[in-house]
Amino acid sequence: MAGAALSFPPFRARPPWWGRDLQTLRNHILRVGPGLAEHPAERLAFPLSDGDVLLGSLHRPAAASDRALVMLIHGMTGSEDSSYIRASARHLLGLGYPVLRLNLRGAGASRTLCRSRYHAGRSEDLREVLRQTERRLAGHGVFLVGYSLGANLLLKYLGEAGGTATTRAAVSISAPIDLGAARHAIMRRRNHIYHRHLLAALKAETEGLELAPEQRRILPEVETIFDFDDQILAPLMGFAGAEDYYRRAMALPFLPEIRVPTLMIHALDDPWIPGHSYRAFDWAGNPWLLPLLAERGGHVGFHGRGSAVPWHDRCMALFFERCAE
């Protein structure tokens, strides 16, 4: 797998999206994602064992094909309608892949059907969805793609499953594999605008959930993502606090156990996720992992020269072609 990286095109930013912040912000500036009208969606429900239900949108390519189903897993405060999800779906459908855009627990269309919410380590939800998907939809297998928090969740699942994972291959994009390091990065002064925006979105996602009276009282007063994780999310999800959540939910300790071909795409200038988390990992220790680390690209950005299709989507497609062979 290591030699395969040689055939990926280099990433070069396209104007006007210069620098890591504009690369990151483009997905928010241009909120309307690519159109999918030519591939009508079928609404699917995935009941979970505790009574919550996840919803997804299944799209089929214009012509029948024997390609694997690609499941797309969004990031924090995202949904099936996030622009990066829609961009990947459009590109993959054009290449003949059926695509499932999944809403995590409490996100997007799943929100009204869930009493609880997703978090970075809630890999058991993905396990349940995969079990149902393989029975219903995946005659030619499944490829998994995760973005940001969804990528961390994906990697944790793959490490837990080890050799029993049934997915054929996976792609991780901008995963916060060390959640503690990512928390420190997002709370840096230079990231104040990002931090404020994400915190507001997290609060809005949480308001409709079944919170304890004390949590509901303090939610409007929470001023940092660490405090949100420590005082709201951790108690809600059974963690002792934020540090316990970061330690138990982060993907990093699970990477050595992955036994599925997995492409890990990350920009070393990501303003939210420190590059040293990737540089310090012993990639040679697990030949199932293929790191594709670009010097530039921001967070789930990779808007590059030569194509309107994001660079990570083009690399993803090349990787899946290679795995199918």
* 242, pLDDT greater than 60: yes
pLDDT score for 134: 83
Q: Is the pLDDT of residue 157 over 80?
A: yes
**Whole-structure pTM value:** 0.95
Angle at 279 (CA atoms; ends 122, 157), nearest 5 degrees: 20
Delimit the domains of the chain by residue range. 2-178+251-324, 179-249
Which residue has better confidence, 236 or 210?
Answer: 236
Per-position DSSP letters for 225-278, written without gaps between them: HHHHIIIIIHHHHT-SSHHHHHHHH-SGGGGGG--S-EEEEEETT-SSS-THHH
pLDDT given at position 6: 53
Residue 70 scores a pLDDT above 60: yes
pLDDT higher than 60, residue 5 = no
Return the pLDDT at 7.
84
Instruction: Say whether pLDDT at 184 is over 70.
Output: yes
Q: How many helices and strands, by DSSP H and E, does the chain display?
A: 12, 8
Q: pLDDT value at position 179?
A: 98
Of 120, 122, 222, 225, nearest to 175 (Cα)? 120
Name the pLDDT band for 209 (thresholds 50, 70, 90).
Answer: confident
Q: What's the fold here for domain 2-178+251-324?
A: Rossmann fold (3.40.50)
**pLDDT, tens digit, 9 for 90 and up, residues 243-286:** 999 999 999 999 999 999 999 999 999 999 999 999 999 999 99
The C-alpha atoms of residue 11 and residue 19 are separated, in whole angstroms, by: 12
